[in-house]
A and B are shown apart, each in its own frame.
Chain A
Protein backbone atom coordinates (compact mmCIF):
# COMPACT_ATOMS: atom_id res chain seq x y z
CA UNK A 1 0.00 0.00 0.00
CA UNK A 2 1.34 3.43 -0.87
CA UNK A 3 -0.11 6.79 0.13
CA UNK A 4 -1.63 7.40 -3.30
CA UNK A 5 -3.35 4.01 -3.44
CA UNK A 6 -4.73 4.54 0.02
CA UNK A 7 -6.12 7.98 -0.80
CA UNK A 8 -7.74 6.67 -3.99
CA UNK A 9 -9.45 3.84 -2.16
CA UNK A 10 -10.37 6.13 0.74
CA UNK A 11 -12.10 8.55 -1.63
CA UNK A 12 -13.94 5.76 -3.42
CA UNK A 13 -15.27 4.27 -0.17
CA UNK A 14 -16.17 7.66 1.27
CA UNK A 15 -18.23 8.34 -1.84
CA UNK A 16 -19.85 4.88 -2.00
CA UNK A 17 -20.67 4.63 1.67
CA UNK A 18 -21.30 8.34 2.21
CA UNK A 19 -25.01 7.94 1.68
CA UNK A 20 -25.28 5.65 4.66
CA UNK A 21 -23.71 8.29 6.90
CA UNK A 22 -26.74 10.45 6.35
CA UNK A 23 -29.17 7.80 7.50
CA UNK A 24 -31.12 9.21 10.43
CA UNK A 25 -31.72 7.44 13.71
CA UNK A 26 -35.40 6.37 13.73
CA UNK A 27 -37.64 8.34 16.06
CA UNK A 28 -38.78 5.15 17.78
CA UNK A 29 -35.18 4.47 18.83
CA UNK A 30 -34.61 8.00 20.12
CA UNK A 31 -37.89 8.07 22.04
CA UNK A 32 -37.34 8.07 25.83
CA UNK A 33 -33.65 7.26 25.30
CA UNK A 34 -32.35 9.57 28.03
CA UNK A 35 -35.02 8.53 30.53
CA UNK A 36 -34.17 4.87 29.84
CA UNK A 37 -30.50 5.61 30.53
CA UNK A 38 -31.56 7.29 33.76
CA UNK A 39 -33.64 4.24 34.75
CA UNK A 40 -30.70 1.93 34.06
CA UNK A 41 -28.40 4.08 36.19
CA UNK A 42 -30.88 4.17 39.07
CA UNK A 43 -31.52 0.42 38.90
CA UNK A 44 -27.78 -0.31 38.84
CA UNK A 45 -27.48 1.78 42.03
CA UNK A 46 -30.30 -0.13 43.64
CA UNK A 47 -28.81 -3.55 42.97
CA UNK A 48 -25.77 -3.19 45.30
CA UNK A 49 -28.02 -1.64 47.96
CA UNK A 50 -30.44 -4.55 47.73
CA UNK A 51 -27.55 -7.03 47.94
CA UNK A 52 -26.17 -5.24 50.99
CA UNK A 53 -29.62 -5.37 52.60
CA UNK A 54 -29.90 -9.11 52.00
CA UNK A 55 -26.39 -9.67 53.40
CA UNK A 56 -27.19 -7.59 56.51
CA UNK A 57 -30.41 -9.55 57.05
CA UNK A 58 -28.49 -12.83 56.73
CA UNK A 59 -25.91 -11.73 59.29
CA UNK A 60 -28.68 -10.62 61.66
CA UNK A 61 -30.37 -14.03 61.35
CA UNK A 62 -27.05 -15.76 62.07
CA UNK A 63 -26.45 -13.65 65.20
CA UNK A 64 -30.01 -14.31 66.42
CA UNK A 65 -29.52 -18.02 65.83
CA UNK A 66 -26.30 -18.04 67.84
CA UNK A 67 -27.89 -16.08 70.71
CA UNK A 68 -30.85 -18.50 70.78
CA UNK A 69 -28.55 -21.51 70.77
CA UNK A 70 -26.51 -20.11 73.66
CA UNK A 71 -29.69 -19.42 75.63
CA UNK A 72 -31.00 -22.91 74.99
CA UNK A 73 -27.70 -24.45 76.03
CA UNK A 74 -27.81 -22.61 79.38
CA UNK A 75 -31.42 -23.52 80.19
CA UNK A 76 -31.23 -27.19 79.08
CA UNK A 77 -27.69 -28.42 79.53
CA UNK A 78 -27.05 -31.72 77.91
CA UNK A 79 -26.69 -34.50 80.54
CA UNK A 80 -23.31 -36.00 80.29
CA UNK A 81 -23.49 -39.67 79.53
CA UNK A 82 -21.47 -42.09 81.59
CA UNK A 83 -18.77 -43.39 79.43
CA UNK A 84 -17.99 -46.34 81.71
CA UNK A 85 -20.22 -49.40 81.73
CA UNK A 86 -19.93 -51.61 84.79
CA UNK A 87 -19.98 -55.23 83.83
CA UNK A 88 -21.16 -57.81 86.32
CA UNK A 89 -18.26 -59.01 88.44
CA UNK A 90 -19.17 -62.62 88.08
CA UNK A 91 -21.72 -64.17 85.81
CA UNK A 92 -24.04 -66.68 87.50
CA UNK A 93 -22.80 -70.17 86.80
CA UNK A 94 -25.35 -72.70 88.02
CA UNK A 95 -29.07 -73.05 87.45
CA UNK A 96 -29.84 -72.27 91.07
CA UNK A 97 -27.74 -69.13 90.90
CA UNK A 98 -29.66 -68.05 87.82
CA UNK A 99 -32.94 -68.74 89.55
CA UNK A 100 -31.81 -66.79 92.60
CA UNK A 101 -30.89 -63.91 90.37
CA UNK A 102 -34.28 -64.02 88.66
CA UNK A 103 -36.04 -64.18 92.02
CA UNK A 104 -34.11 -61.11 93.20
CA UNK A 105 -35.01 -59.27 89.99
CA UNK A 106 -38.67 -60.30 90.38
CA UNK A 107 -38.75 -58.90 93.90
CA UNK A 108 -37.42 -55.62 92.56
CA UNK A 109 -40.13 -55.72 89.91
CA UNK A 110 -37.59 -55.93 87.11
CA UNK A 111 -38.50 -59.41 85.96
CA UNK A 112 -41.94 -60.66 84.96
CA UNK A 113 -43.56 -63.56 83.14
CA UNK A 114 -42.81 -62.10 79.77
CA UNK A 115 -39.12 -62.21 80.58
CA UNK A 116 -39.55 -65.83 81.60
CA UNK A 117 -41.13 -66.63 78.28
CA UNK A 118 -38.41 -64.80 76.42
CA UNK A 119 -35.68 -66.89 78.05
CA UNK A 120 -37.75 -70.10 77.85
CA UNK A 121 -38.19 -70.66 81.59
CA UNK A 122 -41.21 -72.80 82.45
CA UNK A 123 -42.14 -71.70 85.97
CA UNK A 124 -44.67 -74.56 86.40
CA UNK A 125 -42.00 -77.14 85.55
CA UNK A 126 -39.66 -75.50 88.04
CA UNK A 127 -42.27 -75.54 90.75
CA UNK A 128 -42.99 -79.22 90.05
CA UNK A 129 -39.29 -79.93 90.11
CA UNK A 130 -38.98 -78.15 93.44
CA UNK A 131 -41.95 -80.09 94.80
CA UNK A 132 -40.31 -83.40 93.79
CA UNK A 133 -37.03 -82.30 95.37
CA UNK A 134 -38.82 -81.26 98.54
CA UNK A 135 -40.68 -84.52 98.70
CA UNK A 136 -37.48 -86.48 98.26
CA UNK A 137 -35.78 -84.42 100.96
CA UNK A 138 -38.70 -84.96 103.32
CA UNK A 139 -38.86 -88.71 102.70
CA UNK A 140 -35.12 -89.00 103.22
CA UNK A 141 -35.40 -86.94 106.39
CA UNK A 142 -38.16 -89.12 107.82
CA UNK A 143 -36.24 -92.32 106.94
CA UNK A 144 -33.14 -91.14 108.75
CA UNK A 145 -35.22 -90.11 111.73
CA UNK A 146 -36.85 -93.59 111.88
CA UNK A 147 -33.48 -95.28 111.81
Chain B
Protein backbone atom coordinates (compact mmCIF):
# COMPACT_ATOMS: atom_id res chain seq x y z
CA UNK B 1 0.00 0.00 0.00
CA UNK B 2 2.81 2.29 0.98
CA UNK B 3 4.75 1.72 -2.22
CA UNK B 4 1.56 2.18 -4.27
CA UNK B 5 0.97 5.52 -2.60
CA UNK B 6 4.51 6.70 -3.18
CA UNK B 7 4.84 5.08 -6.59
CA UNK B 8 8.21 3.56 -5.65
CA UNK B 9 9.54 0.13 -4.64
CA UNK B 10 8.89 -1.25 -1.13
CA UNK B 11 12.48 -0.90 0.05
CA UNK B 12 12.80 2.63 -1.29
CA UNK B 13 9.49 3.59 0.34
CA UNK B 14 10.65 2.11 3.65
CA UNK B 15 14.00 3.88 3.40
CA UNK B 16 12.21 7.16 2.86
CA UNK B 17 10.06 6.56 5.93
CA UNK B 18 13.15 5.66 7.94
CA UNK B 19 14.85 8.88 6.84
CA UNK B 20 11.80 10.94 7.78
CA UNK B 21 11.54 9.12 11.13
CA UNK B 22 15.17 9.91 11.85
CA UNK B 23 14.32 13.57 11.35
CA UNK B 24 11.57 13.19 13.99
CA UNK B 25 8.55 12.64 11.73
CA UNK B 26 6.08 10.69 13.89
CA UNK B 27 3.66 10.26 10.98
CA UNK B 28 6.35 8.45 9.00
CA UNK B 29 7.13 6.27 12.00
CA UNK B 30 3.44 5.40 12.40
CA UNK B 31 3.48 4.17 8.80
CA UNK B 32 6.48 1.98 9.65
CA UNK B 33 4.62 0.66 12.69
CA UNK B 34 1.59 -0.24 10.57
CA UNK B 35 3.71 -2.14 8.06
CA UNK B 36 5.53 -4.17 10.75
CA UNK B 37 2.97 -4.45 13.56
CA UNK B 38 1.44 -7.81 12.67
CA UNK B 39 4.76 -9.60 12.33
CA UNK B 40 6.11 -7.89 15.44
CA UNK B 41 3.14 -8.94 17.57
CA UNK B 42 3.31 -12.49 16.21
CA UNK B 43 7.02 -12.73 16.97
CA UNK B 44 6.45 -11.46 20.52
CA UNK B 45 3.61 -13.95 20.92
CA UNK B 46 5.81 -16.83 19.77
CA UNK B 47 8.23 -15.98 22.56
CA UNK B 48 5.81 -14.90 25.31
CA UNK B 49 2.80 -17.10 24.56
CA UNK B 50 0.18 -14.52 25.47
CA UNK B 51 -1.47 -12.07 23.06
CA UNK B 52 -1.88 -9.23 25.54
CA UNK B 53 1.71 -9.51 26.71
CA UNK B 54 2.82 -9.77 23.07
CA UNK B 55 0.92 -6.59 22.20
CA UNK B 56 2.46 -4.76 25.13
CA UNK B 57 5.98 -5.99 24.30
CA UNK B 58 5.57 -5.08 20.62
CA UNK B 59 4.44 -1.57 21.53
CA UNK B 60 7.36 -1.22 23.93
CA UNK B 61 9.67 -2.43 21.14
CA UNK B 62 8.35 0.22 18.76
CA UNK B 63 8.72 2.96 21.37
CA UNK B 64 12.34 1.89 21.94
CA UNK B 65 12.91 1.81 18.18
CA UNK B 66 11.60 5.39 17.91
CA UNK B 67 13.89 6.54 20.72
CA UNK B 68 16.91 4.78 19.21
CA UNK B 69 16.20 5.75 15.62
CA UNK B 70 19.19 8.14 15.47
CA UNK B 71 21.47 5.17 16.25
CA UNK B 72 20.10 3.15 13.31
CA UNK B 73 22.80 3.55 10.69
CA UNK B 74 21.28 1.25 8.10
CA UNK B 75 24.04 -1.35 8.46
CA UNK B 76 21.37 -4.05 8.69
CA UNK B 77 17.80 -4.17 7.46
CA UNK B 78 15.30 -2.14 9.46
CA UNK B 79 13.27 -5.26 10.25
CA UNK B 80 16.35 -7.08 11.60
CA UNK B 81 17.19 -4.09 13.78
CA UNK B 82 13.58 -3.80 14.95
CA UNK B 83 13.33 -7.53 15.82
CA UNK B 84 16.60 -7.31 17.73
CA UNK B 85 15.01 -4.62 19.91
CA UNK B 86 11.73 -6.52 20.17
CA UNK B 87 13.39 -9.80 21.16
CA UNK B 88 15.34 -8.01 23.88
CA UNK B 89 12.08 -6.53 25.20
CA UNK B 90 10.56 -10.05 25.21
CA UNK B 91 13.60 -11.49 27.02
CA UNK B 92 13.32 -8.74 29.64
CA UNK B 93 9.64 -9.56 30.02
CA UNK B 94 10.43 -13.26 30.56
CA UNK B 95 13.07 -12.37 33.16
CA UNK B 96 10.56 -10.12 34.95
CA UNK B 97 7.96 -12.88 34.85
CA UNK B 98 10.44 -15.34 36.32
CA UNK B 99 11.17 -12.88 39.09
CA UNK B 100 7.49 -12.51 39.80
CA UNK B 101 7.27 -16.33 39.88
CA UNK B 102 4.20 -16.26 37.69
CA UNK B 103 3.30 -19.70 36.52
CA UNK B 104 0.94 -19.51 33.61
CA UNK B 105 0.22 -22.09 31.00
CA UNK B 106 1.54 -21.08 27.61
CA UNK B 107 -1.16 -20.22 25.13
CA UNK B 108 -3.94 -20.02 27.72
CA UNK B 109 -5.56 -17.16 25.84
CA UNK B 110 -5.47 -18.85 22.47
CA UNK B 111 -8.66 -18.57 20.53
CA UNK B 112 -9.55 -21.81 18.74
CA UNK B 113 -9.22 -21.64 14.98
CA UNK B 114 -12.52 -21.36 13.13
CA UNK B 115 -12.02 -24.53 11.05
CA UNK B 116 -11.25 -26.74 14.04
CA UNK B 117 -14.00 -28.65 15.79
CA UNK B 118 -14.76 -31.50 18.21
CA UNK B 119 -12.12 -34.09 18.99
CA UNK B 120 -9.62 -32.61 16.53
CA UNK B 121 -9.89 -29.27 18.23
CA UNK B 122 -9.26 -30.80 21.66
CA UNK B 123 -6.34 -32.88 20.37
CA UNK B 124 -4.81 -30.00 18.48
CA UNK B 125 -5.17 -27.71 21.45
CA UNK B 126 -3.62 -30.33 23.74
CA UNK B 127 -0.67 -30.92 21.44
CA UNK B 128 -0.18 -27.18 21.00
CA UNK B 129 -0.30 -26.60 24.74
CA UNK B 130 2.17 -29.45 25.33
CA UNK B 131 4.54 -28.07 22.73
CA UNK B 132 4.25 -24.51 23.93
CA UNK B 133 4.72 -25.47 27.57
CA UNK B 134 7.78 -27.44 26.55
CA UNK B 135 9.15 -24.39 24.70
CA UNK B 136 8.48 -22.24 27.74
CA UNK B 137 10.64 -24.51 29.89
CA UNK B 138 13.67 -24.03 27.61
CA UNK B 139 16.56 -21.76 28.64
CA UNK B 140 16.04 -18.20 27.36
CA UNK B 141 18.58 -18.38 24.50
CA UNK B 142 17.27 -21.72 23.18
CA UNK B 143 13.68 -20.63 23.60
CA UNK B 144 14.13 -17.47 21.54
CA UNK B 145 16.02 -19.20 18.73
CA UNK B 146 13.52 -22.09 18.70
CA UNK B 147 10.50 -19.74 18.55
CA UNK B 148 12.01 -17.65 15.77
CA UNK B 149 12.79 -20.75 13.72
CA UNK B 150 9.69 -22.90 14.14
CA UNK B 151 6.97 -20.43 15.11
CA UNK B 152 8.11 -17.45 13.06
CA UNK B 153 9.63 -19.40 10.17
CA UNK B 154 12.84 -17.36 10.10
CA UNK B 155 15.87 -18.66 8.23
CA UNK B 156 19.00 -19.73 10.13
CA UNK B 157 20.83 -16.69 8.75
CA UNK B 158 18.09 -14.28 9.83
CA UNK B 159 18.12 -15.71 13.36
CA UNK B 160 21.91 -15.49 13.47
CA UNK B 161 21.65 -11.83 12.41
CA UNK B 162 18.94 -10.92 14.91
CA UNK B 163 20.56 -12.77 17.80
CA UNK B 164 24.14 -11.79 16.97
CA UNK B 165 25.17 -15.45 16.78
CA UNK B 166 26.94 -17.61 14.21
CA UNK B 167 24.81 -19.98 12.12
CA UNK B 168 26.61 -22.87 13.85
CA UNK B 169 25.61 -21.54 17.28
CA UNK B 170 22.00 -21.17 16.10
CA UNK B 171 22.01 -24.80 14.93
CA UNK B 172 23.45 -25.97 18.25
CA UNK B 173 20.71 -24.10 20.16
CA UNK B 174 18.05 -25.54 17.86
CA UNK B 175 19.38 -29.06 18.21
CA UNK B 176 19.42 -28.99 22.01
CA UNK B 177 16.02 -27.30 22.22
CA UNK B 178 14.55 -29.72 19.66
CA UNK B 179 15.74 -32.73 21.64
CA UNK B 180 13.96 -31.49 24.76
CA UNK B 181 10.75 -30.59 22.92
CA UNK B 182 10.67 -33.96 21.15
CA UNK B 183 11.12 -35.72 24.48
CA UNK B 184 8.17 -33.83 26.02
CA UNK B 185 6.03 -34.52 22.95
CA UNK B 186 6.86 -38.25 23.10
CA UNK B 187 5.93 -38.29 26.79
CA UNK B 188 2.61 -36.62 26.00
CA UNK B 189 1.82 -39.15 23.25
CA UNK B 190 2.75 -42.01 25.60
CA UNK B 191 0.30 -40.68 28.21
CA UNK B 192 -2.35 -40.17 25.55
CA UNK B 193 -2.10 -43.87 24.62
CA UNK B 194 -2.63 -44.83 28.23
CA UNK B 195 -5.57 -42.45 28.73
CA UNK B 196 -7.21 -41.87 25.33
CA UNK B 197 -9.86 -39.20 24.82
CA UNK B 198 -13.40 -40.47 25.16
A contact set with B: CB distance below 8 Å:
1, 5-6, 9-10, 12-14, 16-21, 23, 25-26, 29-30, 33-38, 40-41, 44
Contacts and interface: CB of A to CB of B under 8 A. Distances in A.
B192 interface: no
Given A13-B181, A20-B128, A37-B59, A29 B152 contact: no
Given A13-B181, A20-B128, A40 B38 contact: no
B166 to A, nearest CB: 14
Contact of B33 (A17, A21, A33): A33
Contacts of B83: none
B115 to A, nearest CB: 11
A20 B151 contact: yes
A14 B182 CA distance: 12
A38 B25 CA distance: 11
A40 B63 contact: yes
Interface of B: 26, 29-30, 33-34, 37-38, 41-42, 45-46, 51-52, 54-55, 58-60, 62-63, 66-67, 110-111, 113, 124, 128, 131, 149-153, 171-172, 174-175, 178-179, 181-182, 185
Contacts of A37: 30, 33, 59, 62-63, 66
Contacts of B66: 37, 41
Contacts, number: 90
B62 A30 contact: no
The dominant DSSP class at the B interface is helix
14 contacts: A1-B175, A5-B175, A13-B150, A13-B182, A14-B150, A16-B185, A19-B124, A21-B151, A25-B41, A26-B51, A30-B41, A33-B37, A36-B59, A37-B30
B175 A6 contact: yes
Nearest to B63: A40
A44 B185 CA distance: 44
Given A23-B113, A26-B111, A1 B172 contact: yes
B131 A33 contact: no
The dominant DSSP class at the A interface is helix
Nearest to B54: A29
Contact of B153 (A21, A34, A35): A21
A6 B182 CA distance: 13
A126 to B, nearest CB: 89
B151 A17 contact: yes
Contact of B182 (A9, A18, A44): A9
A36 B30 CA distance: 10
A13 B62 contact: no
Contacts of B181: 13
Contacts of A36: 59
Nearest to A5: B175
A105 to B, nearest CB: 80
Given A26-B111, A33-B41, A16 B63 contact: no
A10 B66 CA distance: 36
